[in-house]
A and B are shown apart, each in its own frame.
Chain A
Amino acid sequence: MSIRLYDIAHARAGDKGNTSNISVTAYDNAGWQAIQRDLTAELVLGHFQHLGAGPVRRYELPQLRALNFVIENALGGGVTRSLAIDPHGKSLSAWMLTIELPGHNEGAK
């Protein structure tokens, strides 16, 4: 069974030029273990690729149970010249949370 990222974490998106950065923070330790293990840069890149985005860099902040993703080329050419209705990509945090992580059924035989 897959896990909805929305159920275990919250997110906020920021912008600089044509780069979006999106933090993903787990609500609890179990959630942190899941995102730390499974929410990879590759998975995030695949989720944002249709925007022409990439590459993706991933930073871990375990003491905050948070990951920070830096997604280049995600903002349609940059905040100041994008034709997008949301040039800052502020709503991309919600797109991040639509990711589904693989379930692991730990403890089950």
Chain B
Amino acid sequence: MARDKIRIGCGAGFSDDRIPPGVEIVEKGDLDYLAMECLAERTIARETLDRAKDPTKGYTPVLLERMEAIMPPALKRKVKIVTNMGAANPMGAAQVLRQHAPDWGCPDYTCAVVRGDEVTDIMRAHPELALMEDGAPLESLLPRMASANAYLGADVVAQGFATGADLVITGRVADPALFLGPMLHAFGWSYDDYAKLANGTLAGHLLECSGQLTGGCFADPGKKEVEDLAGLGYPLADVWADGRVEVSKTPGSGGRLDVATCTEQLLYEMHDPSAYITPDCVLDASGVSFEQLGKDRVAFHGARGKPRTATYKVVVGYFDGYMGSGEMGFAGHNAVARAKLGIEVVKERLRRRGLEYSEMRIDLIGMNSLHANDAALAPEPYEVRLRIAARTTDKKAAEAVGAEVRSLHMQGPTGAGGGINFGARQILAVKSVLIPREWVKPDIAMERAA
């Protein structure tokens, strides 16, 4: 069905993103499509582990809560949905939705599932691949590998909608592709039409972090004001078949969308602006400019595109030991000196227990925790929190860190209050490789009511 214009909204920009603005944009945004991006670099590794324990799991944990709120108003208004909440088990996500959707008043809908982003077998077959971060062979990570997924492009999302589906569930796809996919489907854009691909990719890049385009991550009281930040609305894009794009946000919502917010989000997580590599094109945003068309409505110009590369990027998740941490507060006279004594006591107690750590980080929260500056240079605050975090391959050694910090309550310097033991956390780290496109064989499967 060829169309002249579509409207795509963003309903979520990370897995635990706020749900009410997603509902609001469905109800008030007059959308054709809603995209929800819920998969950070390493979360899919955790969800792959969930699936190993229970084959029906492995989708984004917040899936049901989010979809119970989003699906009824979306289906009622014929807003089509695409989301990567399938994570490590897109079909499992589709099936669990089908079990619950009738209870939400959604007995009839069609759902397409994108499969094939998982490439762990390909990784095992190619230990010679070089890691992008350091050039080391992939082989070094294979014994500790937890997951490996290729960043698929917008073509598979468009194929999902081509089935007539109301809902397309994916695992790993590039974030902007969740937005470009509906455009490819609605307008039939080809992969030779670099100008349109560039505009669609840029629109997706601007929208994919939800409220970061509309005044989130922006306010600085007295300097950069954001109207009704508490009611921050999520962004949408009007896209025309000729590639023209205007971005806006939910009518009547809080926040602001203007050249300044768009400029910050354009460069967010972008390295060389002339070569932003996605599976769909290489976006050249170096000449992009923004035009304020009205309140909370902005057009962009000057995006250029180059052909997509011959490779897919694969993110490999792997186990990297454990991290333990804890915090303790001190206030009043000599607070900083007492915190420093607490640090020395914890380090010495861990040492006497024979526990070893490959890396330890000490922070004085209130003085140097965020920018790791020299605490000696910071003005002495009324209150300070010590924080100790350490990395080790031994889970028990990791657990000991926070336990020793918390015991400063009774066995540390005077007036130690508000201790927290954060326990031990298994570290899932990520590295990347590039693989030839033809190694990956994604496909579309229809999920149907049992």
Contacts and interface: CB of A to CB of B under 8 A. Distances in A.
Interface of A: 10-12, 14-19, 21, 23, 25, 50-51, 57, 59, 61, 63-64, 66, 68, 70, 76-81, 83-86, 90-92, 94-95
Nearest to A22: B267
Interface stretch (B57-65, B164-172, B286-294): B286-294
B54 interface: no
B103 interface: no
Nearest to A52: B372
B371 A12 contact: no
A16 B371 contact: no
A1 B428 CA distance: 48
B247 interface: no
Contacts of A66: 263, 267
Given A17-B133, A83-B389, A64 B365 contact: no
B263 A50 contact: no
Nearest to A95: B371
Secondary structure dominating the interface of A: mixed
User: Closest 9 CB pairs between A and B?
Assistant: A14-B269, A23-B267, A83-B361, A12-B264, A83-B389, A81-B429, A95-B371, A91-B370, A14-B268
A78 B427 CA distance: 12
B13 to A, nearest CB: 13
B374 A50 contact: yes
18 contacts: A12-B264, A14-B267, A14-B268, A17-B133, A17-B430, A23-B268, A50-B374, A51-B372, A57-B272, A59-B273, A61-B288, A64-B263, A64-B290, A68-B267, A68-B273, A83-B390, A86-B369, A86-B370
Contacts of A81: 320, 391, 427, 429
A10 B267 CA distance: 12
Contact of B287 (A14, A63, A94): A63
B237 to A, nearest CB: 19
Contacts of A70: 271-272
A21 B264 CA distance: 11
A85 B364 CA distance: 11
B286 A78 contact: no
Contacts of B263: 23, 25, 64, 66
Nearest to A82: B361
Given A68-B270, A86-B370, 17 more contacts: A10-B264, A12-B218, A12-B268, A17-B430, A21-B268, A21-B269, A25-B263, A50-B372, A59-B274, A61-B288, A63-B302, A68-B271, A83-B389, A83-B390, A85-B369, A85-B370, A95-B371
A12 B427 contact: no
Interface residues of B, number: 50
Interface string B301-324: 010000000000000000010010
Nearest to B320: A81
B84 interface: no
Contacts of A85: 363, 365, 369-370, 387, 389
A86 B432 CA distance: 22
Contacts of B372: 50-51, 84
A10 B323 contact: no
Contacts of B323: 83
Contact of A12 (B265, B286, B325): B265
A72 B290 CA distance: 29
B269 A91 contact: no
Contact of B260 (A10, A19, A77): A10
